[in-house]
Amino acid sequence: MNDAKITVGIVGLGDMGGGMADRLLDAGYPLIGYNRTRSKADAFASKGMFVAGSPREVAEFSDLVITMVTNNAALQAVCEGPDGVLAGLRGGKIIAEMSTTAPALVRDLAVRVAERGAQLLDAPVLGSILTLRSGQLLVMVGGARDAYDRAEPALLAIGSTVRHVGEVGAAKALKIAANLNLAVQVVAFSEGILLAEKMGVDRRVAIETLLGGVIASPALKYRFPFVLNPPPYAWFDCEMIQKDLSLALDLARETEVPITTGASAQQMFSAACAFGYAKEDFSVVFHALAKMAGIERDPRSIPEYAKAAVTT
């Protein structure tokens, strides 16, 4: 693809897909987009994006089609049928599937894409809304090297690092591994803070002290302050991290790899959802554990948390 002439399409304009659209527009890429909720797509029209009427239309008029949706079912919904992405493909086009979905699903999709003369790249990202806005995402890509080379310039407009990691499915496996690790870290850190709090250490002191030490990963450093000062809306909610943990457990069964900490973390997020926090940022698992430990009655009784919950 000629970087100066490439037209990029995006199917899925939620927080992450919308952030990608902004970065591509800022970089001067002709952009066409579709979102199931039309108003989210219309918000980009004034910025120069052409709003498509269907995923098929995005594929018909794009050289590179990005899909960024919530789960396996959503990916199948935008790809299948007479108005789906697959129906709009022809030879020479590339799909970059950037959602967090199952490796087996994306490998199957790659076969069907190839049958239409196009190519699929498995291209999930590591990072958050914050890192996307600042251009610091890591894009992991699985697929044919020639397709990777052609799509790389546009992907570099989205993230600062784009890395080819293997065949289709390899990048999805790495993304699932990363989110498994993140979920386990958040649960373990929560348990440690609550243990210290039960022994009389002030919560804020415990969090700020441990985040200044060697156990604090970059992910914990940006995520765990949400326990004290929640974001105005969920960056990544409990239902989403549960979905990713389910993908990890499915992959573990397929590969016969024991992931006992992941199974335990999923139970903690199940508890958070049962307490009614499914749509809250997944850092709320701390408050679910605090409730189980008898430290809190309800996280939304905390003034800062209640204020944030109202705006979600």
In eight-state DSSP terms, residue 281 is B
34: helix, strand or coil: strand
In angstroms, the CA 132 to CA 159 distance is 7
H or E stretch covering 3? none
Provide the token pair at 98.
Answer: 């950037």
pLDDT of residue 292: 94
Q: What does the CA dihedral 174, 179, 180, 183 come to, rounded to 10 degrees?
A: 160
Residue with tokens 């087996």: 104
- Expressed in percent and rounded to 5, the helix, strand and coil fractions of the chain are 55, 10, 35
Give residues with Cβ within 8 angstroms of 198, minimum separation 6.
Answer: 293, 295
Give residues with Cβ within 8 angstroms of 103, minimum separation 6.
Answer: 122, 169, 170, 172, 173, 176, 251
Q: Which domains does the chain have, with CATH numbers?
A: 8-166 (3.40.50.720), 173-310 (1.10.1040.10)
CB 86 within 8 A of CB 79: yes
pLDDT of residue 311: 34
- Please state whether beta strands 125-126 and 138-142 pair in parallel, antiparallel, or not at all (unpaired): antiparallel
Query: How many CA atoms, within 13 angstroms, populate the side-chain half-sphere of residue 178?
Result: 18
In angstroms, the CA 252 to CA 5 distance is 42
In angstroms, the CA 164 to CA 166 distance is 6
User: Looking at the DSSP assignment, which residues form a beta bridge with residue 94?
Assistant: 64, 119
Residue-wise pLDDT tens for the chain (312 aa)?
Answer: 444 679 999 999 999 999 999 999 999 999 999 999 999 899 999 999 999 999 999 999 999 999 999 999 999 999 999 999 999 999 999 999 999 999 999 999 999 999 999 999 999 999 888 889 888 999 999 999 999 999 999 999 999 999 999 999 999 999 999 999 999 999 999 999 999 999 999 999 999 999 999 999 988 998 898 998 888 888 899 999 999 999 999 999 999 999 999 999 999 999 999 999 999 999 999 999 999 999 987 655 544 444 444 332
Residue among 19, 13, 4, 10 at smallest CA distance from 136: 19
Give residues with Cβ within 8 angstroms of 56, minimum separation 6.
Answer: 82, 83, 84, 85, 87, 88
Provide the token pair at 61.
Answer: 């008029």
Would you give the distance in Å from CA 23 to the centre of its chain? 16
CB 65 within 8 A of CB 11: yes
pLDDT of residue 309: 40
Residue-wise burial string across 76-113, b where 16 or more C-beta atoms lie within 10 A, e elsewhere: bebbeeeebbbbbbeeebbbbbbbbbbbebbbebbeeb
pLDDT of residue 1: 46
Provide the token pair at 24.
Answer: 């591509």
